[in-house]
Structure 1
């Protein structure tokens, strides 16, 4: 293993592992969802007590910023961790590691099922590592503990607060169960998708299930709409481009009264794209397809559609990718460094930071090497868990960037 600096960051990260595990398990046991996370912020502030750092708390919905200044001149590098949990109940399976070892979520209906507890622990580890080696640190690192990634636009709040104004480059990690522990993956350009959200309501004349001819049959209109929306991807988008249109929410009729044909039904879902032109095309196609679909069932059917853009694509800067590849290839074995990793159609509000400052999102392997990655629960699953030794690999990755970025 080649070393690129005077300190062995792999060794230092390994020494931090017990601390990283403690932090991750505490955050996991006491999850807070959304943009307001007072308990998490208080815990993080406590971790920095007695350290020569500058803490800035932006208040509710903004998060915590920690600056660590090195003794040598250099850039200001930002490192971001999302700290929020999901509104999801953790599995009660006794074999689930948090249940087995006693750090299951103590807050019902909240769970860290997307790895944000690990991201937070890794950023704390980077803070410890950088603070202990300030004499060898060039410039300044800014730790961005960001709430509200899961749909609350926490990153843009930090941008608007001005926390990226003095940052030269910014970096983030995301746990990825499809990669084995010790491996990382990234690419230049789009690495995660733009996300858009739609909600629709179809209205008309209701009726009795025994006399469908007296109604405009909104349920059938809904079925036709769902089917036709899939033609956008299969027939309107270049097969070599990536796009997803998924209807994920339906509401129609009454479970108790099954003979009433409802006068109104609702549907909603998500669109994912990796190209701005494809994104715009889908948005433009949506109203016409929905309207034509319901009218094909009955001319008196009406559809009202709310379609809005969410997070933008997460786009890694080519120059930054070139720089970190040079850094990481000097300290990692070649099979573990995947520099052209395929993009995911998941989305990230870190894209808002990358719009302001060049940087990179990096995928961190969290599945044990002897386990088939196809067999483990994916992100947002109530059974999701990580191999905790991945935490030290996250610190090693961030540490090498922090101490070696040109």
Structure 2
């Protein structure tokens, strides 16, 4: 495998030089690369290959850190393409390398895991695994990154640096991105790009924004304990259901009465479990939920207040409460914040590739969460949405729906965007390094 490390501080210096120079229009060479990549991705040879891969992955969904067959398929395809890789990283992850094997390094990422959902769409390639489904489009994400790999490998001699392919496990609550980072395989990367398919966005359109685009989130579980007994004699009990009800109402006040209405936050209780009979007050009740905000500061404040409210409100009803944020299982997800200079780069590439009318660079922020944010805390990163609407005449099915369908005609767009963003970034990077070196030489 051709993968050479260089000093991280040197990488940082070069990147600061890069972002200090505004990224305006792409050069002629990078523009040509972008145009050719979409044409190549739409060719029957590449498109049919991608469709076949996507359907195979869709038929065999695997949950987080269990993506062994998906990982095997990825490695087999990389072997066929002659692309070196590292495996395993973060249990099932695969990290591929295309280009010179030397700096600069730019990464493009796809998540691999499915969801514990029973697919209800009847079609030839329906999930073969009961209770598991690619209901978030990660099968398409893997396929599009493999498509980008195929295109980039065909143009490897034109790559001015190294493209790092990140096939990541466990995005759905498992913090797979964090474990990829801990594996040390991205320590020389100066930029990383990621995408997510959107079933509501028209085919081939993209949407994103500079700055915060997705919220950060945390998870909580609270056990409220009282004293059970017969429903006919509540005076002899300490009712945890009543206490939990008051807790839930009070938690809503954290947003409606304590939060700045111009700084969005969300607290949601999504699970309430307690009792086994209609006429017996249980000894305890469990409630679970999430909290979301667009800054780590606000997330920390919500976390503190959630625990205070639960414990205090339980005490008002003579109950005890314990709160667990399960940080070791469901890590604290930071907000997804897009780098401003990479936003300019994305806009240039996307407009050149798709046309101005297909590119929305003012997408409103969304309260959903993405673990791509872990990368962005240590590497300048950019995340965008890709339209893969199946049929606008059918009822809309959201992500995580057992009825989710995606338009496979969108696969070439994702593959081409991945490849174009990475290859043109490396060209621009090298041009800025050369320009700065020339300026320094003139000063000497």
Tell me the TM-score normalized by structure 1: 0.91
Structure 1 contact 62–157 (Cα < 8 Å) conserved: no
Is 1:377 aligned to 2:397, yes or no?
yes
The SS at the match of 2:262 is coil
Structure 1 contact 180–369 (Cα < 8 Å) conserved: no
2:40 corresponds to which residue? Answer: 12
The SS at the match of 1:236 is coil
The structure that is strand-richer by fraction is 1
> 1:70: how far off?
5.0
Question: What is the rounded CA distance, in whole Å, between the counterparts of 2:313 and 2:392 in structure 1?
Answer: 49
Structure 2 contact 99–157 (Cα < 8 Å) conserved: no
Query: 1:390-401 maps to which residues of 2 (within 5 A)?
Result: 390-401=410-421
Tell me the alpha carbon deviations over residues 222-278 of structure 1, each in whole angstroms, 9 at most, x when there is no partner: 111111111111111111111111111111111xx3211112111111111112232
Structure 1 contact 37–60 (Cα < 8 Å) conserved: no
Structure 1 contact 61–148 (Cα < 8 Å) conserved: no
1:301 corresponds to which residue? Answer: 319
Structure 1 contact 79–143 (Cα < 8 Å) conserved: yes
- What stretches of structure 1 of length at least 5 have no aligned partner? none
Is 1:79 aligned to 2:108, yes or no?
yes
Tell me the TM-score normalized by structure 2: 0.84
Question: What is the rounded CA distance, in whole Å, between the counterparts of 1:202 and 1:158 in structure 2?
Answer: 36
Question: What is the rounded CA distance, in whole Å, between the counterparts of 1:262 and 1:335 in structure 2?
Answer: 58
The structure that is helix-richer by fraction is 2
The SS at the match of 1:44 is helix
CA RMSD after TM alignment: 1.9
Question: What is the rounded CA distance, in whole Å, between the counterparts of 2:91 and 2:368 in structure 1?
Answer: 23
The SS at the match of 1:331 is helix
Question: What is the rounded CA distance, in whole Å, between the counterparts of 2:107 and 2:89 in structure 1?
Answer: 19
The SS at the match of 1:49 is helix
Question: What is the rounded CA distance, in whole Å, between the counterparts of 2:296 and 2:89 in structure 1?
Answer: 34
Tell me the alpha carbon deviations over residues 107-133 of structure 1, each in whole angstroms, 9 at most, x when there is no partner: 111110111000000000000000111
Structure 2 contact 199–390 (Cα < 8 Å) conserved: no
Question: What is the rounded CA distance, in whole Å, between the counterparts of 1:219 and 1:148 in structure 2?
Answer: 34
Question: What is the rounded CA distance, in whole Å, between the counterparts of 1:123 and 1:321 in structure 2?
Answer: 20
Farther off after superposition, 125-134 or 5-14? 5-14
Farther off after superposition, 211-220 or 274-283? 274-283
Structure 1 contact 86–111 (Cα < 8 Å) conserved: yes
Q: Give the aligned length.
A: 391
Question: What is the rounded CA distance, in whole Å, between the counterparts of 2:390 and 2:356 in structure 1?
Answer: 18
Question: What is the rounded CA distance, in whole Å, between the counterparts of 1:336 and 1:148 in structure 2?
Answer: 31
1:280 corresponds to which residue? Answer: 300
> 1:27: how far off?
0.5
Query: 1:5-404 maps to which residues of 2 (within 5 A)?
Result: 5-6=32-33, 8-15=36-43, 16-58=46-88, 61-69=91-99, 75-91=104-120, 96=121, 99-100=122-123, 102-254=124-276, 257-296=277-316, 298=317, 300-307=318-325, 308=327, 310-368=332-390, 370-371=392-393, 375-404=395-424
Tell me the alpha carbon deviations over residues 80-103 of structure 1, each in whole angstroms, 9 at most, x when there is no partner: 110111111111xxxx3xx32x11
> 1:312: how far off?
1.1
Structure 2 contact 241–274 (Cα < 8 Å) conserved: yes
- What stretches of structure 2 of length at least 5 have no aligned partner? 1-27, 429-444
Tell me the alpha carbon deviations over residues 180-212 of structure 1, each in whole angstroms, 9 at most, x when there is no partner: 111111111111111101111111222211111
Change in Cα spacing, 1:166 to 1:130, as seen in structure 2 (3 Å) is: same
Question: What is the rounded CA distance, in whole Å, between the counterparts of 1:326 and 1:293 in structure 2?
Answer: 53
Structure 2 contact 90–179 (Cα < 8 Å) conserved: no
Question: What is the rounded CA distance, in whole Å, between the counterparts of 1:173 and 1:70 in structure 2?
Answer: 25
